[in-house]
Structure 1
Amino acid sequence: MGTGAVVLVAGLGGCGDGIPAGPVPGAAEAAERWADGGVDSYAYSLTSSCGERLLIGSYRVTVTDGAVTAVEGLDEVGRRIAGEAQDLVSAVPTIAALLDRVVDADASTVPEATFDDAGVPTAVTFDPSPGVDDEECYAVADVEPTA
């Protein structure tokens, strides 16, 4: 998988002000690159942070035929949440689902989005309501095809 960051929308995590409305720059192209790669079975590391929500921590995610099939906690928080019998398989996105969400979002609600050469969203911040603790921050790394 490629590693170079292709697009950075903004580095203003939590600040939707001043970001123009419209599509997230580079998102559609990244989604196309990911789809063109044809990788449906893979594993990746996901670090999820920001906001008040269940999915916080670092995880190793396994995707088989385009669906999340396993989620393993990698840090103390991730292991605790995974150990509480939470349904993380349905809560954790595939890379394609995360890309779809970025493509469908308005740029004013995505203050940060970076993509590598393969289209992987290496960092994404969603902030639908500035001033409300509803941010979702994701970092994706170590993508490895498994089949």
Structure 2
Amino acid sequence: MTAVPRRALAVLATALLGGLLSACGGDGQETASRPNWSEPASYTYTLNSGTGERALIGRFRITVANHEVAHARGLDDSGRRLVANSPGQVPTLGDLLKELDRARGEGAATAEAEYAPDGRPERITLDWDTNALDDEAEYVISGYEPVTG
């Protein structure tokens, strides 16, 4: 068996890690396209959204019909205010995925998503610029139920 000096092992490990990070987009950020999931025409879900000025802030129960928000109910004070004053800002899951795609296309510092086994988003985390304050967004999706019939 041939002995390999520690320094050589460290150089090899660094090179391998660098190659892995490059394959992942350079900074370890998720770069793979999202799973193959088609947004159904009608469904309900709960959205908990917060952080930053660019983000929608509040907790909501949302009903989507024909790919549009048909009903939104604020589940906290921020959510109720937003639904009362700006109901058009409440997003469908498709809208959230478009925002994720836009952030990736604009080279956001963070544009990550976690997906359920069926491919729908469960969490979307965005940060356009790591040096800017209040440009982050985090969307946590739960209580998803497709509407059938």
- The higher relative CO (CA closer than 8 Å, separation ≥ 6) is in 1
Report 1:1-147 matches (<5 A). 20=26, 24-26=30-32, 28-30=33-35, 32=36, 34-35=37-38, 39-53=40-54, 55-82=56-83, 85-88=84-87, 90-106=88-104, 108-110=108-110, 112-132=112-132, 133-147=134-148
RMSD: 2.6
For residue 81 of structure 1, give the secondary structure of its aligned residue in structure 2: helix
- 8 Å Cα contact 1:57-1:73 kept in structure 2: yes
For residue 117 of structure 1, give the secondary structure of its aligned residue in structure 2: coil
Q: Deviations over 1:77-113 (max 9, x none)?
A: 212333xx3222x212211222233234327532542
Counterpart CA distance in 2 for 1:96 and 1:111 is 16
Identity %: 34
Structure 2 segments unaligned to the other structure (5+ residues): 1-24
Counterpart CA distance in 2 for 1:46 and 1:66 is 16
Structure 1 segments unaligned to the other structure (5+ residues): 1-18
Tell me the equivalent position of 2:21.
none
For residue 44 of structure 1, give the secondary structure of its aligned residue in structure 2: strand
Decide which structure has greater helix share: 2
For residue 77 of structure 1, give the secondary structure of its aligned residue in structure 2: helix
- Bigger-Rg structure (1/2): 2
- 8 Å Cα contact 1:51-1:136 kept in structure 2: yes
> Residue type of the partner of 2:109?
T
> Residue type of the partner of 2:52?
G
